[in-house]
Structure 1
Amino acid sequence: MTFEEQPIDYSNYLPDAPQARSVAAEMVATRQSEQVKAALFSAKQFPRDQQASFNRIMQACQRKKLAEEAAYEFPKGGSKVTGPSIRLAEVLAQNWGNMEYGVVELDQVNGVSKMEAYAWDIETNTRRSMIFNVTHERKAKGRINKLDDPRDIYELTANMGARRVRACILGVIPGDIVDAALDRCRQTLKDGYTEPLTDRLRKALLKFQEKYGVSKEMIEEYVGCGQDAFTENDFLKIAGVWRSLSDNMAKREDYFNITKVHVPSNAEEEFLKLQEVEKKEDVVHDISTE
């Protein structure tokens, strides 16, 4: 008597795939629901002390690093747009208390991510949210490059979402708190410098020239007066332009008239220096022959 080995059918032992997915989704939804209930209960049990929250915000705004990154500024339509930065909005939300904020990806189809940014004041049940689409592409040097690396896609969606999160946070926190925080940051900048204003301006103008090819004349035209008349507020304004350029939120053409003043290239600078050396040598030669 012989026995033939029969293949074992494991199908009876495997859970149904759609059913498994529905159970997992239900578990996630239940966990999220319990987290929301816990947050609401905690907010009711421990309501914020608005004066204490305000004091924490003012204390945070005394940090020089935060004060330097607290505001953005860029020109638009012949005027300037200024406001609290993403970093300041995050500090406001953290110290105001009983708040949740963030950005989530709702869906991703055909190279487009559907995102939602939100901010929720749990104590007052005030919520702001924005739903937007992010196409997986990046424009650089006049060309549009499609993104397929998950890391590049994540960085793009996170960057686009951060601005919406800022708008949501600022839509929930009272406006007078935001204004007071900005004023405190400006005062921190004024009080935090040990160098005289003239030295700081000289270094700033030199950095603009070296990195962006922006001359002193361009900056004077932008501010509206000569360097000798620059004030602390003008220095803060220049610093805001520097941050906007460094963060790629604007281009130098948005601020300065680069066609009005000719900025020599590196080759031209070397040629001019060579001409100056030759002139000095001619003068020395003339003096030695007399």
Structure 2
Amino acid sequence: MNELTNQFNNQGNNAATVVAASREMEEVKGQIFMAQNMPRNVFQSEQRIMDACKRLTLAETAVYSYPRGGQKVVGPSIRLAEVLAQNWGNISFGVKELERRDGESTAVAYAWDMETNTRTQKEFTVPHVRSTKKGIQKLTDERDIYELVANMGARRLRSCLLGIIPGDIVDKAVAQCNETVRSGGGDIPLKDRIGKMLAMFKESYGVTQEQIENRFGYGTSTFTEFDMVQARNIFNSIKDGLAKVEDYFDKSTKKDAPSKLKEELAAKEDVKADVEEGAVNEPEKTNEG
């Protein structure tokens, strides 16, 4: 009796799987049909992208930079890649979790230009663990696992999207975003934006103004629009998990600097004390005939 029940349940599950796969296939066919019968207007798509890159809120998160091998790597962020795909049109993209077992998830990031039938995808495995200061933490909460997979998938998705969208369009978008940030950000004074940037670094990562100034080599009072772009790129790189705080800022700065200063002051006080003591204890000279 149990064997018959299991067979019936298996047949039911298989039937449901077939129906779901058939429905998904029909949806894909419909998307391809619409894409090929309503092709994108390249000039209009490019103009929409350029207009989107003139928005300061997008431009501030559009580019990342991080150090690698003694050099600086710069490129478009996942936020910009998503805007490019949305305005380029006829592109299906996303991250799907394929399987979950033994404390890890198997997922795939993909981007598919349905008009030209060009597709890129990257399959990857995500262990359900998180590195913390106290060591490796195993994740069991559904929300934590979902956010971890989404975060790891965002990097692969960005790569897939940039493999679909023409490179010259991407370069123009990055240039426009940098220009938008350099232009001053509307009516907000540069001084206020610098203050906001310093507060964001302090609140999010504990990075002080002194550490930022040591990184750039000069004070924030002399920051220009270009420096703001660089600082924003660093912030985005850390936020997106492409780099760590230690890759940019020396954590010992705020700890070592005061101790060295104290040592120098103490040394000066010792010298001063020795001089004063020598002046007091020095025997008086007499003229003896």
TM more than 0.5: yes
Structure-to-structure mapping, 1:98-113, within 5 angstroms: 98-113=90-105
CA–CA distance in 1 between the matches of 2:223 and 2:21?
Answer: 58
Return closer, same or farther for 1:148/1:101 CA change in 2, 3 Å cut-off. Answer: same
Unpaired stretches in structure 2, ≥5 consecutive residues: 263-289
- CA change 1:209–1:37 in 2 (3 A) is closer
1:138–1:144 CA contact under 8 A, matched in 2: yes
How many angstroms does 1:169 deviate by? Answer: 0.4
Quickly say closer, same or farther: Cα 1:105–1:209, change in 2 above 3 A: closer
Q: Residue 212 of structure 1 aligns to which amino acid in structure 2?
A: G
Checking the alignment, whether the CA contact within 8 Å between 1:70 and 1:87 is kept in structure 2 is yes
Shift of 1:226: 5.5
Q: Runs of 5+ in structure 1 lacking a partner?
A: 1-8, 269-290
| Structure 1 match to 2:48 | 56
TM-score, with length taken from structure 1: 0.78
CA-based RMSD of the aligned residues comes to: 2.8
Q: How many residues align?
A: 256
Q: In structure 2, which of residues 19, 27, 36 is the aligned counterpart of residue 44 of structure 1? A: 36
Kept in 2, the 8 Å contact 1:214–1:258? The answer is no
Identify the residue that residue 35 of structure 1 maps to in structure 2. 27
**1:214 equivalent in structure 2:** 208
The answer (yes or no) to whether the contact 2:63–2:236 under 8 Å persists in 1 is: no
8 Å CA contact 1:212–1:252 kept in 2: the answer is no
Looking at structure 2, the residues matched to 146 and 59 of structure 1 have their Cα atoms a distance apart, in angstroms, of 44
Q: Which moved more, 1:200-209 or 1:153-162?
A: 200-209
- 1:132 corresponds to: 124
Q: In the aligned structure 1, how far is the partner of 2:6 from the partner of 2:49?
A: 55
1:233 counterpart residue number? 226
Partner of 2:100, secondary structure, is strand
**Distance in 1 between the 2:23 and 2:135 partners?**
44
AA at the equivalent of 2:50: M
1 or 2 for the larger relative contact order (CA 8 Å, sep ≥6)?
Answer: 2
1:67–1:188 Cα contact (<8 Å) kept: yes
CA distances 1:120-173 after superposition (whole Å, capped 9, x unpaired)? 000011100001101111111141111112221111111111111111001110
Instruction: Judge conservation of contact 2:108–2:121 (CA < 8 Å) in 1.
Output: yes
Native 8 Å contact 2:61 2:79 kept in 1:
yes
Query: How many Å separate the matches in 2 of 1:154 and 1:203?
Result: 31
Q: What amino acid maps onto 1:214 in structure 2?
A: T
The secondary structure found in structure 2 opposite 1:139 is: strand
Aligned to 2:279: none
Q: Distance in 1 between matches of 2:119 and 2:158?
A: 13
Contact kept? 1:104, 1:116, Cα under 8 Å: yes
Confirm or deny: 8 A CA contact 1:215 1:263 kept in the other structure.
Answer: no
